[in-house]
Structure 1
Amino acid sequence: MPVGFQYARNHTWHIVDFDGLLLIGVTDYGQRALGDVTSVELCATSVRVSEGEVVAKIASASAVSEVGAPFSGEIVAANMLIWRNPGRINSAPYVSWLVKMWPTSKNIDLRWMSSAEYAQFIT
């Protein structure tokens, strides 16, 4: 699992891109729990969201999982490659970001874990 990402108990990750945007995705553990991803519904761009608000829905044969915004902000991009080929979440979860957002605030939040903390959490 990549270092530099931050991880949540709901098996999502986020990382700050070179331009200050947050990329949000699903961890390897999360995609394995879902099984084969069959479709992805992504939030529209130019939409303001509050922390925890749903920014993506991921469907598999066994479940539909909602991904919440890690912080309040504006959705500036949706990954249309994932929308067209949702199975990439299974094959490459740490490069298969779902949405990019511009956070309005990024307070340090103890709910987010480092890669070492997350590895301990899932074992």
Structure 2
Amino acid sequence: MNIIQINANENGGRPPMQSLHGAPPAGYALVPDTLDTSVFYNFMGFVTLELDGSTVTAMTGNQEALDDYKASLPEPVEPPPTTEERVAALENENAMLKAQVSAQSDQMDFYEDCIAEMATVVYA
């Protein structure tokens, strides 16, 4: 036989059911083995209990509490890139920078040729 906490936590959820033999402690209710408890797991413990004394007679999902709980969770953090991903990105950046330096060097050579040609016209 399982037991479950009668009062939900502040967020509306309940801790996992626990196995117990004998009478439940204060604040807990018996969950009969014949009761379908799949709703407890489907709603991650966010359930509403119907009790007959200290025995659970029905368990229904509390979608509103579950939605509130999910909304309160922080946004997932994207994991940092792996070493292989960082190396690949740096290799791509390095190739682009080399191409830019090469293009600037070609441009400087062109400017030097232009200046030399203008100098021959001016000083000729």
Q: Tell me the TM-score normalised to structure 1 length.
A: 0.22
Q: Report which of the two structures shows the higher radius of gyration computed on alpha carbons.
A: 2
Q: Which has the higher helix share?
A: 2
Q: Which has the higher strand share?
A: 1
Q: Tell me the TM-score normalised to structure 2 length.
A: 0.22
